[in-house]
Amino acid sequence: MRFDSNKAWSEATKLVSGNRDVLWAVAGVFLVLPALAVTLLAPPPEAPAGAEPEALLNLFSAYYTQAAPWLLGMAVLQIIGTLTMLALFTDRARPTVGEALQLGLRGLLPAILAQILAGMAFFLAAVVPITLAGLTGSAALTTLVVLGCVAGLIWLAVRISMIAPVVMVEGQRNPVAVLRRSWELTAGNVGRLLLFYALLFVGFWVVILLVGGLADMVLRLALGDQIGAPLGAFIAAALQGVMAIYFTGVYAATHRQLAGPSREAAARTFE
């Protein structure tokens, strides 16, 4: 099936507008608050002016090592929130928020394992060419190989973008089968999906940077850093929550389009 981005976006916006209140409740707890907590309790370091690449690498390596528990906790909560929102979007039983949360928790382990398997496969596929390029001593070749691996990672992200809908909508719990199904759904539409996701991502981040940056600056000037900075961080986290809500709706709409009508819907057509 040829992917139609206009149809997917139109359906995603309808899904979001039809569930706005409950989505904000879920996003607030599982997306906004964890992001705000990480920003306030484990803020990333500011790169010093004129720092060498090796010094920057050491700086951020140390940060991610120290902040790993916070970042992992945030990632798990965000996955739970995404799965819960997908249940609210797609479950025909119209679950309550509590019931959707239970469904999200059931899908958590297979969704995480599928992503880990995909990550491990990519790492094994990338480490050999990067190592061999490094052994040649050619910086240009190494850079080219690394860029190729980054492109491969983006391609892989598109191919596995249906993991959460497969887990929540189709009820698949085998991580390998989840990956296989996502691969099958995205086949033949990688370019269109990549362009669609990229346009949405860039568009949302432009708004987040402009609105969030302006709000942070105004709040700091009006209230001082002690009060203005946390409020600015909250606004940035809330804007990222809005982006996550719409992306979850996009994943639900994209899956519905690529997978075609469900068996229940097909059965009702002949009743």
Q: pLDDT tens digit string along 131-178? A: 988 888 888 888 899 999 999 999 999 999 999 999 999 999 999 999
- 268 occurs within a structural domain: no
Which of 90-94, 109-113, 233-237 ranks highest by mean pLDDT? 109-113
For 17-23, which contacts have Cβ atoms below 8 Å and span 24 or more sequence positions? 19/85, 19/88, 19/89, 22/88, 22/97, 23/85, 23/88, 23/245
- 50 occurs within a structural domain: yes
For residue 121, give its domain range. Answer: 5-258
> Residue 270 in 3-state DSSP?
coil
- Candidates 157, 163, 162, 70; CA nearest to 112 is 163
- 269 occurs within a structural domain: no
- 264 occurs within a structural domain: no
- 192 occurs within a structural domain: yes
- 271 occurs within a structural domain: no
Structure confidence at residue 50 (pLDDT): 67
Taking each helix axis from N to C end, the angle separating 53-90 and 225-259, rounded to the nearest 10 degrees, works out to: 60
The 10s digit of each residue's pLDDT in 231-243 is 988 999 999 999 9
- 60 occurs within a structural domain: yes
- 267 occurs within a structural domain: no
- pLDDT greater at residue 137 or residue 184: 184
- Total-model pTM: 0.86
Structure confidence at residue 82 (pLDDT): 94
Rounded to an integer, what distance in angstroms lies between the CA atom of residue 12 and that of residue 257?
11
Alpha-carbon distances of 208 from 80, 126, 203, rounded to whole Å: 23, 32, 9
Domain count, the chain: 1
